[in-house]
Structure formats: C-alpha cells, structure tokens
Chains A and B, each alone.
Chain A
Amino acid sequence: MANKKLKSASAVILRAREHESYGTLVWRRFRKSKIAILGGLMVIMLIVLAIFSDFFAPYDPVRLNMRSGYIPPHRVHFIDAEGKFHLRPFIYGWKQVLDENMFPKWVEDTSKAYPIYFFVRGWEYKLLGFIPMNIHLYGLKDPEGMIFLLGSDKFGRDIFSRSCLAGRISLSMSLFGTIISVAVGSVLGVISGYFGGAVDTYMQRFVEFVQSFPQLPLWMALAAIIPDTWDQFAVFVVMSSIFALLSWTLLAREVRGKVLSLRETDFVLAAREMGASDWRIIFHHLYPNTLSHTIVVLTLTIPTIILAESFLSFLGIGIQEPLVSWGVMMREAQTIQTLGFNIWIISPVFFIFIAVLGWNFLGDGLRDAADPYTIL
C-alpha cells in the first residue's frame, strides 16, 4: 500500500519534470504570431547591419569626398538602355542637365554601364574592431564610378554606408538608455511594492512627480545643456541617461503592482516561514516573476527613445558630428533649399521606421506571449 503510494508520487514528480519550462511555453506562443517573428527579424537585420556596417558599406562612411556631393540614389538595372537583359545588375551614372526652365535636373548617363560585383575589395577596415579586412558586400570594380544606393550627402559620403554606421549609435543608445531605465524602474518598483508603508507612499509620490514633467520638452531642455566640447563617449552616456530619466516610471508602477499582488501569495509566505531573508525573497521569488513585464516594457521603451533621439539629433541638440545617428544624418533637411533639390537626404528615416516598427511588433508579440498560462 505504502509502496504503491510512493510509486504514484514518484510518477507525479517524473511527470512534473517533463513539464515544459516557462521559456518553452513563451516561445511556443510567440512563434505563433507571424508579426512578432517579422518584428524580431527586422530588429536582428538592423543589429547585423550595424555590427558589420563596415562590411555592408561600399565606401568609408566618414571619409569626405567633395567631388561626389549630393548624388541622387543610383538605380539598379537589369535591362540596359537598348533593352538587353544582363544577369549581373548594373547602374548608370548620373549627369546634370538643364531643363526647359533652365533648372538643373538629374538624368541617367546611359553611355556607360557600371556592373555591380559582390564581395569586392574596397577600403580597409577592421571587422568587429580587430580583424583587418577589405572585402565588402557589394561595390563597383570600375574606379571611375561610384555606387550610392540611397544617394550621397553634402560631403559625398554614401548615405547607405552612413546609415549602417549610424545604427550603432541609434540602437545602442536606445538600448543603453532603456537598460538604465529598466534597472532603476524595477529596483524601485520591487522595493516600493515589497516594503509598502511609508516607503511605498513616498516612492509613489515621487513617481507621480516625475510623471508630471512634460517628456519631450524636458528632454529637449536637458539635451540642450550638453556642452559641444564634451568628448563623444560622455555625450553618449549622458544622452542615454537623459532618456532613462523620464522613462523608468512606467515600469516602476507595473513592477510595484505585480510585487504587491505576489507579496501575499502562499509561496512567498512559505518562503518567509522557512526563514528566507528579504533579499532572498525579492531576488529569488518576486523579481523573476516580474521579468516578463520587464521584457515587454523594455521592447516598448526602445522605440520611444529611438524616435526621441532622432528628433533631438535632427534639431541639433542631441548627438553631434562626428558621431552619427539617423537623426543627425537628416539634419541637412532643415534647410528648405537643400531638401528641395536633394530629397534623398531624408532616406535614413527608413532605418528609423524599420527599427521602431520592428521593436513594436516584437513588444506586442512578447506581451501576448509573456503570460502563456492564459487562453487567448
């Protein structure tokens, strides 16, 4: 009899071991949402482009080349001017002619075609900062021509190459800022929810106080006081902290609510009865349970910071040259003449767009997946 009981108990334990972990459950639900997968792919694509930007960039993104300033984006052709098909894609150069109103106008110079080659040798760089290489994804072998898939800027730098490089700043700054805000938000949220009482009251008043600041105007005011003379790294860290400063409140509130409801549950009481310290209860039992919320808030805070950073940099009070972010690259669009003649200088916006959309899709998918025990 006793033996039988023992057997069934061990069977229960065995079955429990076969249970899928929380991670597997989340992944299973996440996988079902096509749009979340798409978002994840968009984000990964941008991160890869940013990390290996030198490889994807046909030209050195920081070298000035005054002879090729403001060239429109080249069109990739397969069929030439005579209607013949070529397997290898090629481009035509641009030349400027005057139209009937004597305004300059760009037309393709079909007299010479420049075939595009893949894995060509070009400018020297160090992959990941230490592997010397000179191979690039695509480029021209003809030294007379240049290829600008998104056009070139005032100083003749390839906008595509620069956009890949700018991804490093734009993505890492938003990630860094979000991580700071998540760290602050979850620590304060857990403390506030766990200890309750006066600590909680003061903390919540403080959260309300921070929340009543107008976000964008305050960001502008804070970014405007960063002196131009600071070195790049300091500007980067301070800008990230500025963004973190106002965005931790949302998470602090959510974590607090979650901890408040978990504090009285049986497993926490049991842990306390067994003599677990406050730290152990917080970090072993409470904090892991708020992690799903944290990750969702993280993915949804990043796009907000990307948008704000690009706007501030566009105004010229955020990131400054020689650092590049997507917003910095669009600065020239402030002058109406420049914009009117060279509309392609706003093309970095596509990168912003993909980044924001990707993180939002990912965040939405994670939000649905973070609680895999409910039935949708």
Chain B
Amino acid sequence: MISYILRRLLLSIPLLLGISIVSFAIIQLPPGDFATTYQNFLINQANMSPVDAEKAANEYRKIYGLDRPVYEQYLNWIKGIVTEGKFGYSFAYKQDVGQLIAERLPRTLFLALSAHLISTIFGIVIGIYSATHKYSIGDYAATVFAFIGTAAPRFFLAIIAVYFLVIELKSPYVNRFVSPEYSFAPLSWAKFVDILKYSWPVIVIAGFGGIARNMRVMRGNLLDVLNMQYVTTARSKGLREDVVINKHAVPNALHPIIMYQGTVLPYMLQGELEAAIVLNMPSLAPMFYSSLVNQDIYVSGGFLLIYSVLLVLGNLIADVVLALVDPRIRLS
C-alpha cells in the first residue's frame, strides 16, 4: 500500500511539471503584462505623461524580470518553488504568492471539504431513503431536488444568496471569512462558529450539486443491490428490514460512491470557485479571478498549479480509500 502511494506520488511529479509548463504558457500568452496594467494606471490615475509612464513600466519590467525570455521566467519560477518554496511575486498584492496561498488555501480546502462532507452525508442518506421508499412522495421530491441541484447554475444560486443575505436579511456576515475580532485568534469553538456564519452559503451552494449527484448514484446502486439474491436470503432468514438494508445492502452500494469521490472533489472545488467569486469570500477563488483580469501571472500560475495538485491528490485518495473498503480491488 505504502509503496503504491509513493509510486503514484512519484509519477505525479512529471505530470505536475507538464501542467506547470502548460499553465505558465497559457498565462504568458496574452499580449502585455502587469507592467502594462501599471503603465495604464500611471497614465490614468497618476496623471503621468505617456513617455514617463512607459519608462517607469520598463523599469518595473527590469526589476521583476518581466523583460526576460518566457522560458527563463518559467525556469526561475519553478526553481523558486522547488528550492525556496516561493511561488513568485504577486504584483497586485505586493508579496510572495506562496504566502497568499498559505493564507487562503486552508480556507478553500475548508470550504470544499465541508461541501464534500455535507454532499456525501446528505446524498447517501437521501439516496437510501429514496431507494427504500421507491415511487413515494418523498422519492419524487428527492428526484426533483436532484434535478434542480444538477441544472441550477451555481453562480445563480450564489446571486440569490447575495440577494437574500444583503438586501432582504441585511446580514452582516458577508464578504469576509471570519469576523475581525477573531482574525488573529487561535482556532477555537467560538471562532469556528463565527467562520461558519460567514461561510455556510458557499458550502451549501458548492455542496448542493454534489448532494444531488450522490443521491442519484446511491439510489440507483441500492436499488440494484436490493434486487440481489443475498438480500432475499437475508430477508428470508427473518432479519429485520433495517438490518437487511443497513448491514447487508448499503455497504455494498457504497463502492461506486467512493469510486466517484475522485471526480467529486474537483466538482466541489469548482462549486467553491463559482460561489466564492460571486459571494466575494476571500478564498483562493476571487483572487484567482482578479489575477486573470489584471495579468498577475504568478498568482494565476501558482493557483492553477495548486488546483491541479488538489486534483491529483484527490484522485489518489479516492483510489486508496476504495482499495481499503473493497478488498476485491488490488492496487498495482
């Protein structure tokens, strides 16, 4: 098992290198760079003459190495990540991208994993209910709910959330991750509750689609399993129905859900991305978006890389967990 994990991790290194090259190339592709943004800022906001502004922009390029050839910029970037853990310099935030990631990645992970958690728990529970109460009102309600969950654009749900929180409820718990008084406090129960007050809309919106997906998968699998002969055997032995379902049927219906987890995590991250941008939750998401708009290349590149790492890790964890739960599966 451990050798398998190590091998997978080693194999993912060339993969991530490839991803970093492509990401960096894409981010470098548009004409202009952050210095151009800076130059426009100097002309429009600081009333500088175009000639002076261009001179300043060129100096800026020299300081931050933006005048170097692309491959050299890339090599420096990768060298920084590998040797010093530095992800490059963010022009807009005036600090190392690694620091930004260190500050915001835990938030994104918290949001995405919480969404993952609620989508798994609620998805499985509702799925079990649906399968055991096939064609009842509750089953139909759950099906309708699932269709809404898969078809509603998440940014739209986030807009609705903004509308109700800000306009209707005048809630103060928006646009932040944690109240100012807890900003520097160590993690405690009170701080956790405070964080939840801000972050529940993002978690619910990101998790909503996942609940719907898990529910449909769980319902279908459990219905298949309930038709199997060993379930009939269990029933004819005289076992109580809840034992039949919870002990015999459900564990076997869970495997496809676990197999699915590898694709659910990126789905949650995307949900978090959409919801957090609209709700302006200070996680990785809005920063990634603004970095794309004002060509803050190292932020975009670093964040793309981080998202890829999460994806690769998520797949690995899903494979390992599946092998742990289902002894028929061999890792090789």
Q: What is the interface of chain A, defined by CB distance below 8 A to chain B?
A: 208-209, 212-218, 220-222, 224-225, 227, 303, 307, 310-311, 314-315, 317, 330, 333-334, 336, 339-340, 343, 346, 349, 352-353, 356-357, 360
**Given A220-B288, A224-B292: A340 in contact with B273 (beta carbons within 8 A):** no
**Contact partner, A357, options B15, B147, B159, B289, Cβ 8 Å:** B147
* Cβ contacts under 8 Å, A225 to chain B: 26-27, 29-30
A227 touches B15 (CB 8 A): no
A340 contacts B166, C-beta separation under 8 Å: yes
Residue numbers in A under 8 Å from B288 (CB-CB): 217, 220
**Contact between B292 and A311, CB atoms less than 8 A apart:** no
Bound CA–CA A224/B311 (angstroms)? 22
Q: Smallest distance from the beta carbon of B221 to chain A beta carbons, Å?
A: 16
The reply to whether B292 and A352 form a contact with Cβ atoms under 8 Å apart is no
Asked if B274 and A227 make an inter-chain contact with CB atoms under 8 angstroms apart, the answer reads no
Q: Which residue of B lies closest to A340 (CB)?
A: B167
Question: B65 within 8 Å of A by Cβ?
Answer: no
A209-B15, A225-B29, A346-B156 as given contacts; A217 in contact with B151, CB under 8 Å:
no
Contacting A at CB under 8 A, from B244-302, are: 266, 269-270, 273-274, 277-278, 288-289, 292-293, 300
Does the CB pair A215–B266 fall under 8 Å? yes
The answer to whether A315 touches B289, judged by C-beta atoms less than 8 angstroms apart, is: yes
Rounded to whole Å, the gap between the CB of A170 and the closest CB of chain B is 12
Alpha-carbon separation in the docked complex, A216 to B311 (Å): 12
CA gap between A209 and B18 in the complex, in Å: 8
Q: Are A215 and B270 in contact (CB under 8 A)?
A: yes
State whether A311 touches B300 (Cβ < 8 A). no
Pairwise interchain contact A339-B162, C-beta atoms closer than 8 A: yes
- Chain B residues closer than 8 Å to A340, beta-carbon distance: 163, 166-167
B30 interface neighbour in A208, A212, A227, A352, Cβ under 8 Å:
A227
The total number of A-B Cβ pairs within 8 Å is 102
Most B CB within 10 A of own CB, among A209, A225, A334, A346: A225
Contacts of A333 in B (CB 8 A): 159
Residues of A within 8 A of B27 (CB): 221, 225
**Contact A339 B167, beta carbon cutoff 8 Å:** yes
Beyond A212-B312, A339-B163, whether A317 also contacts B30 by CB under 8 A is: no
Instruction: Check A214–B269 contact: CB distance below 8 A.
Output: yes
Closest to B271 in A: A216
User: Is the C-beta of B225 less than 8 angstroms from some C-beta in chain A?
Assistant: no
Tell which of A217, A224, A356, A360 touches B303, judged by Cβ atoms closer than 8 Å. Answer: A217
Chain A hits for B274, CB < 8 A: 216, 311
Name 25 A/B residue pairs within 8 A (Cβ), A-sorted: A209-B15, A213-B22, A213-B308, A214-B266, A214-B269, A214-B304, A214-B310, A216-B274, A217-B273, A218-B26, A220-B289, A221-B23, A221-B27, A224-B30, A227-B30, A227-B31, A307-B153, A310-B155, A333-B159, A339-B159, A340-B163, A346-B160, A349-B152, A349-B153, A352-B156
Shortest C-beta distance, B163 to chain A (Å), equals: 6
A353 near B159 (CB under 8 angstroms)?
no
Give the complex CA separation of A162 and B47 in angstroms.
40
B307 on interface, CB distance cutoff 8 Å: yes
Task: Indicate if B19 sits at the interface (CB-CB under 8 A).
Answer: yes
Contacts of B26 in A (CB 8 A): 218, 221-222, 225
Could you tell me if A353 and B292 are in contact, using CB atoms closer than 8 angstroms? no
CB distance from B166 to the nearest CB of A (A): 6
A352: B residues at CB distance < 8 A:
153, 156
Distance to closest chain B CB from A225 (angstroms) = 4
Which residues does chain B contribute within 8 Å of A315, judged by CB atoms? 277, 289
Which 7 interchain pairs have the tightest Cβ spacing? A214-B307, A224-B292, A225-B30, A356-B151, A216-B270, A357-B151, A340-B167
Q: Does B150 contact A (CB under 8 A)?
A: yes
Q: Given that A212-B312, A307-B153, A339-B163 are known contacts, is A221 also in contact with B277, CB under 8 Å in the complex?
A: no
B163 with A343: CB separation less than 8 A = yes
With both chains docked as a complex, state the minimum distance between the C-beta of A220 and any C-beta of chain B, in angstroms.
6
* Given A212-B315, A221-B27, A360-B147, 14 more pairs with CB closer than 8 A: A215-B270, A217-B273, A221-B300, A227-B31, A310-B155, A311-B153, A315-B277, A336-B162, A340-B166, A349-B153, A352-B156, A356-B150, A356-B153, A360-B150
Q: For the complex, what is the distance from the CA of A97 to the CA of B7, rounded to whole Å?
A: 70
Given A212-B311, A339-B167, A357-B147, decide whether A218 and B304 contact each other with a Cβ distance below 8 A: yes
Least CB separation from B301: chain A residue: A221
Q: How far, in angstroms, from A354 to B28 measured CA to CA in the complex?
A: 38
Shortest A197–chain B CB gap in Å is: 20
Give the shortest distance, in Å, between B142 (CB) and chain A (any CB).
Answer: 15
Residues from chain B with a CB closer than 8 A to the CB of A215 are 266, 270
CA A336 to CA B167, docked complex, whole Å? 8
With the chains together, A215 CA to B19 CA distance in Å? Answer: 12
Which residues of chain B are within 8 angstroms of A222 by Cβ–Cβ distance? Answer: 26
CB-based nearest A residue for B269 = A214
- A167 CB, nearest partner CB in chain B, Å: 15
A142 to B269, CA, bound (A): 52
Q: Distance (Å) between the CB of B310 and the closest chain A CB?
A: 8
Residues in A whose Cβ lies below 8 Å from that of B311 = 212-214
**B19, A212: Cβ atoms under 8 Å?**
yes
Interface residues of B in 1-51 (CB under 8 A from A): 15, 18-19, 22-23, 26-27, 29-31
**A311 cross-chain contacts in B, Cβ below 8 A:** 153-155, 274
Q: What CA separation (Å) do A340 and B164 show in the bound complex?
A: 9
CB-CB under 8 A for A220 and B292, given A212-B19, A360-B150: yes
- Give bound CA distance, A317 to B291, whole Å: 12
Residues from chain B with Cβ under 8 Å of A336 in the complex: 162, 166-167
Bound-complex Cα distance A221 to B31 (A): 14
User: Closest chain A residue to B284 by CB distance?
Assistant: A217
Q: How far is the CB of B231 from chain A (nearest CB, A)?
A: 19
Distance between Cα atoms of A310 and B156 in the complex (Å): 10
- Say how far A355's CB is from chain B's closest CB, in angstroms: 9
